[in-house]
Amino acid sequence: MKLKFLGTGTSQGVPVIGCHCEVCESSNPKDKRFRSSALVTADNDKKILIDCGPDFRMQMLTNNEEQIDAVLLTHEHNDHVIGLDDLRPLIFRNGKNIDLYCQKRVGEEIKLRFPYAFADVRYPSAPAFNLHEIEKPFTLLETEVIPVDVSHGKISIFGYKLKNLVYITDASFISDTEKEKLKNLDFLILNCIRKTDLHPAHFILPQVLELFEELKPKKMFLTHISHHLGLHDEVELELPENVHLAYDGLELVF
């Protein structure tokens, strides 16, 4: 299987509109970050999208991707779902609804934000989704998916375990029970918004490094990165061995 990072930035992306810090003005492509999303290519070549934010269209075009077979949603915040309308060309070409997998609460929010996708009589060019509520491990396109329940501030959101890789974004707390799912991993992908100043809804770098020492994955990649974390190349030099910053377009084989 493969996981490609379509985006590794926070809700504002990097560069941030109107910001002239060294990160936002960097010429290094690794400092340019779309909103966080990932594309998994399963062993049967099916494509599973994790989150579909406002940059989805450009992410697909930039990476020369043409197909999505199903979508896993981590939670309902706009930077993770508001691009769902841009799935329309794929829906039209395939001639069938696209399957969305998420918590019940998230599904209800999707219905509120995209009511035209669920209308009894739909406008001809409207998208069409099949919503699937998930709570426990399930098989998706011949791939086992294990939800990982983490806290994003005051709300529960899902990370996902596929084989020996876990993808978690927007977390601020992981219970001991859920940490059991994160042991002996080949890859742990975890959000890291900045270096200092505790955030109410996101991990910062010292917290992430503590988890690395506790859980001991073979490799950890950081995502959902803001311009406050610093320049990609400089931060990479500061990180422990086997901890890396993810960047848009990076691909992991697992």
Q: How far apart are CA 214 and CA 168, in angstroms?
A: 16
Q: How far apart are CA 208 and CA 220, in angstroms?
A: 9
Torsion angles phi and psi, residue 37, rounded to 5: -165, 155
How many independent structural domains does the chain possess? 1
Please report the pLDDT score of residue 84 as a whole number.
98
Splitting the chain (254 residues) into consecutive groups of 10 residues, what average pLDDT does each group show?
Answer: 98 98 98 98 98 98 98 98 98 96 98 96 92 98 98 98 98 98 98 97 98 98 98 98 98 98
Q: How far apart are CA 132 and CA 90, in angstroms?
A: 19
Please report the pLDDT score of residue 122 as a whole number.
86
Q: What is the 3-state secondary structure (H, E, C) of the chain?
A: CEEEEEECECCCCECCCCCCCCCCCCCCHHHCECECEEEEECCCCCEEEECCCCCHHHHHHHCCCCCCCEEECCCCCHHHHCCHHHHHHHHHHHCCCEEEEECHHHHHHHHHHCHHHCCCCCCCCCCCEEEEECCCCEEECCEEEEEEEEEECCEEEEEEEECCEEECCCCCECCHHHHHHHCCCCEEEEECCCCCCCCCCCCCHHHHHHHHHHHCCCEEEEECECHHHCCHHHHHHHCCCCEEECCCCCEEEC
Q: How far is CA 38 from the centre of its chain?
A: 5
CATH number at residue 32: 3.60.15.10
- The pTM score is 0.97
Q: Which domain holds residue 200?
A: 2-253
Q: How far is CA 199 from the centre of its chain?
A: 19
What does R_g of the chain's alpha carbons equal in angstroms?
18
